[in-house]
C-alpha cells in the first residue's frame, strides 16, 4: 500500500513540474515572433493568469477556489499547446527548463483586479436597481 501512494505522489510531483515548465514555455511562446498570432493570444492569457500572484477565484473559497488550479489552467495549457507547432513548443520547453526563476505577471494581476472590479460594479448596479429603483 505504501508503494502505491509513493508512486502516486511521485507522478503528481512530475505532473506539477511539467505544468510549471509548460507555463514558462507558454510565456516564452507568447513573446516569440514565430508563434502564430492566435496561439500568442491564448498562450499569453494562460501564462499571465497562471503566473499572476492572485487567482480569479481565491483559494480560500471551498471547492471553487481550487477549480482554476485543477481545471482551468491545465485546460488552457492544453489548448495553447495544441495551437503552437510541435517543434516550436519543444524549443520553448527546452528554454523554459533552462530558466532559473519564474517570472511574475503584472498583466495577469491587473486583468484579475479589473475583472473583480467589474463584478463588484455590476453587483452594485444590480443591487441598486433591485432595492432602490423599484
The C-alpha R_g of the chain, in whole angstroms, comes to: 19
Secondary structure (DSSP) of 65-126: HHHIIIIIHHHHHHHHHHHS-HHHHHHHHHHHHH--SPPP-HHHHHHHHHHHHHHHHHHHHH
Residue 83 and residue 34: Cα distance in Å, rounded? 12
What integer pLDDT is reported at residue 130 of this predicted model?
Answer: 86
- Summarised one tens digit per residue, pLDDT across range 100-118 is 776 767 777 788 888 889 9
Q: State yes or no: pLDDT of 85 exceeds 80.
A: yes
Stretch 2-12: mean pLDDT: 66
Q: State yes or no: pLDDT of 93 exceeds 90.
A: yes
**Residue 6 Cα distances to 18, 53, 70, 111, angstroms:** 18, 30, 21, 39
Cell of 128: 441598486
In the chain, the percentage of residues whose pLDDT exceeds 90 is: 37
Cell of 93: 520547453
pTM of the complete model beyond 0.85: no
Q: State yes or no: pLDDT of 71 exceeds 90.
A: no
Amino acid at each position: 500500500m505504501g508503494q502505491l501512494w509513493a508512486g502516486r505522489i511521485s507522478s503528481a510531483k512530475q505532473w506539477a513540474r511539467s505544468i510549471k515548465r509548460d507555463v514558462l514555455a507558454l510565456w516564452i511562446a507568447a513573446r516569440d515572433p514565430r508563434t502564430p498570432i492566435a496561439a500568442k493570444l491564448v498562450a499569453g492569457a494562460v501564462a499571465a493568469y497562471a503566473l499572476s500572484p492572485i487567482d480569479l477565484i481565491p483559494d480560500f473559497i471551498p471547492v471553487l477556489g481550487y477549480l482554476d488550479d485543477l481545471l482551468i489552467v491545465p485546460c488552457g495549457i492544453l489548448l495553447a499547446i495544441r495551437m503552437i507547432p510541435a517543434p516550436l513548443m519543444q524549443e520553448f520547453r527546452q528554454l523554459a527548463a533552462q530558466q532559473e526563476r519564474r517570472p511574475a505577471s503584472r498583466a495577469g494581476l491587473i486583468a484579475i483586479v479589473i475583472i473583480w472590479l467589474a463584478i463588484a460594479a455590476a453587483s452594485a448596479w444590480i443591487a441598486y436597481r433591485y432595492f432602490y429603483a423599484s
